[in-house]
Structure 1
């Protein structure tokens, strides 16, 4: 997801466990790094490795927008396969979900909306 603020792109990848206490976000400026599939895969991999997954959780679901260059490609899929090889032994399944375009409101959208609102309030 890309948000433009005063002609400077801020690229973000957000992971939400559907609890307000458990939001993970990676952000970077366009001057620091690109916004391609390698960067998105790295951000997701980093988050998957840092979160503590309770023993009773058997399945991980990753919900993504349908951006072909960032999410729907072999790099992200390969990262998921690699992570499953290293995942805690109680994880049985990793599912990638791509909702229908224009018919969904992904939980991370709320995170980015809140960030945009706070930035707007700071710049007024």
Structure 2
């Protein structure tokens, strides 16, 4: 009888743990990156993507080409934030208008006038 009680307790514990795991919300896809010439952020709760070029040491910009990885119906975006050298201080933000949990890829580049070159800052994948 003791074996049956132990087995029943283990089954009940496993079932409770499984229901807890299944009840958890999907993991958040928010991120914030320093890309040398500025920052790139995505806030999953409001589906907002932002680029901010640093307002220091001459001309700078940060650009992201944001495309869906597997959904042909989700929109793509290409945006650039220019710093105050170009007369634009602040950030460039927009809303990702896609079905929830659409997988996206952001290809990030930046520019700094003193360096005189555009630099690839890598790729970030995330879910909307």
- Provide the TM-score with structure 1 as the length reference: 0.30
In our comparison, the structure showing a higher alpha carbon Rg is: 2
- Provide the TM-score with structure 2 as the length reference: 0.30
Structure 1 or 2: larger strand share?
2
